[in-house]
Structure 1
């Protein structure tokens, strides 16, 4: 006899959150072992590949954090010389943040670890299913207001 299925066992939002939690916990241990906090990792990773940088608002959305937390993290990274920050010349209320050369170097090592972690996750489900999953998740994200 099959046991009854709990609601959460088939609830998409729970499954996405639980999978993210499990997979992130593994990688976050690696990041912290490198002496990097998770908020710092998220800011550095978000800025990688954005040569002109991102606004603090864009970082807030990308890092899944609130503006005061991102501003505090950016302050630390500026002090460490890993990012620079400047006001938008056309709108002084907007602040842009971008990686410095030192920030690029620091994040590259972390990204190599992230890619290795991702490869282990993909190996568990297969590359084809991974691409389907990524596409589906992007569609879910894109339909957000």
Structure 2
């Protein structure tokens, strides 16, 4: 019978530990701050990928893909009448104009958004949530936030707070202080 204390998931090795050990074996000169940074960024990237993968089924339950949800959520957050210009959506999404056009085309075919001429600028177009789009995004965002809570359940509240603060500090230091 072992007298060692059982490990918790927080104490277990992850995939990055294995990668780090390989680098330490092959390039011991990299050990230290450089390898620490590589490991931390690797963890951030892997966590982001796993979280994205965990969100896909919830979006699919609502007939959406992640990028479509992002557009609908952006319009929803804009407040009534839940409309923006494609340029405003572009700034919020940080993607190409072609990607926004593609997303809007899909959402328009589904009946979730409508495009119409901007009454103040004949050259511009506005995008608005339809009633059906508003209902879908409201249902999806409830399921999405529940899913996100589930995915973060392994973190205790002080860990969540510390992680949120550290990531906010990192994002600000990288210049990510405003949408668009």
TM-score normalised by the chain length of structure 2: 0.64
Matched residue, 1:84: 114
Secondary structure in 1 aligned to 2:88? helix
Alignment of 1:1-145 (within 5 A): 3=21, 4=24, 6=35, 7-11=37-41, 14-50=42-78, 51-52=80-81, 53-134=83-164, 136-138=166-168, 140=171, 141-142=176-177
Q: CA RMSD in A?
A: 2.9
Change (3 A) 1:104 1:134: farther
Cα separation, 2, equivalents of 1:138 and 1:62:
18
Change (3 A) 1:91 1:117: same
Structure 2 residues not aligned, in runs of 5+: 1-19, 25-30
Max Rg structure: 2
The answer to whether the 8 Å contact 2:85/2:126 transfers is yes
Change (3 A) 1:64 1:144: closer
Structure 1 residues not aligned, in runs of 5+: none
Secondary structure in 1 aligned to 2:149? helix
Aligned length: 142
Change (3 A) 1:61 1:17: farther
Change (3 A) 1:101 1:124: same
